[in-house]
Every structure is written in C-alpha cells, then in structure tokens.
Amino acid sequence: MKLNKIYKLAQICSKIGSGATPKGGKESYLGGNTSLIRSQNVIDFGFLYNGLALINDEQAHGLDNVTVMTGDVLLNITGDSVARCCKVPSNILPARVNQHVAIIRGDNNIVISDYILYYLQYKKPYLLSLSQGGATRNALTKKMIEDIKIPLPSISEQRHIIDLLSSIDNKIELNRRINDNLIKSVA
C-alpha cells in the first residue's frame, strides 16, 4: 500500500469560509432567487430543503464572498449541529451561506469534494471534541478547519475509495427502506 502525503485542508482547498445573516435576521429574508443556506439545512450526507431561506439580489450581492458553487462541501460550524456536513445540491444554486455554515471548496486538480466529505464524516468525533474547546457554544473556527490534517491519495485512489463508500451507503439506504416497508406492512 502506498503511503499518502498528509496535507492541511488549507493546502488543498481554494476556499474555506463562512458567511453572514442579512441584517434583521430571518425577518430580512425578502425572497428572491438566491438560496441562503443555514445550519438547519445541512445534515450528514444530506440537505434539508425545509426552511431554506431566499434572499434578493441586493442581499446576495452583499454576500458575494460566500457564493456557493457546485461540488462545495458545507460544514456546520456552530451550535448543536456543529460538524454536520454535506455536499451542496446543485438545484439550490445560486446560493450563499450564513455565519453558521462553512464552505469547503477543494482544489479539483488534487482532491475530489466527495473525498473531503467522507473524510470529514470519518473525523466527526474529532471535530466535535475540537468544537468544545472552552467556548460557551460549540464552534469550529476557520483556523481549526484549515488545520485539519487529511491523507491525500491520488485522484484515482480517491475515486476508488469514494466508489466503495458510496456503494456501502447505497446498501445501507436500501436496507433502511426495506425495514421501513416491513414496519408499514406489519402496522
């Protein structure tokens, strides 16, 4: 087995950052064509559309520095949902994130975003312990995220790992649906 070089996320990502909430909180979500992703939308390996806020062009322009792009990994960085992460679904773009969600955008030449996602899920216990570092509220800082160490195999090995893990996830989901159907048929 080939040894992988260890990198910090900051070394292999073109973007790591969180956004802001338009002034006025949720009452300021004026509707529009741009999604504002909040921590309640980000779940492990999934995205909850319920409660997705929409902001107008002016508000979106004020958050241009946290524009979400296809393939971005979203990581909750504060509160009880800290360390939950998913990949952004392309059907909600254009989008921005608020201050409770970090965008992690890998350099596509050296890392696949699904690899980052699976690795962050694997490191979730570490991220949870890191987030409890003395603050009154669980939180991960930009620096903490940038300093996360990640072993990085070649792109082809990353694809192989992703395919393997994805196959296992699909089997788990199929078993969950079978169990749900069995429970419904018994009830």
Question: pLDDT by residue (tens digit) across 139-177?
Answer: 999 999 999 999 999 999 999 999 898 888 778 877 777
Structural domains in the chain, CATH included, are: 6-153 (3.90.220.20)
Question: pLDDT by residue (tens digit) across 48-62?
Answer: 999 899 999 988 998
Q: Check residue 86 and give its pLDDT.
A: 97
Q: Check residue 1 and give its pLDDT.
A: 42
Average pLDDT over residues 9-26: 86
DSSP letters along 23-83, please? TTGGGG----SEEEE-GGGEETTEE--TT-EEE-HHHHHHTGGGEE-TT-EEEE-BGGGTT
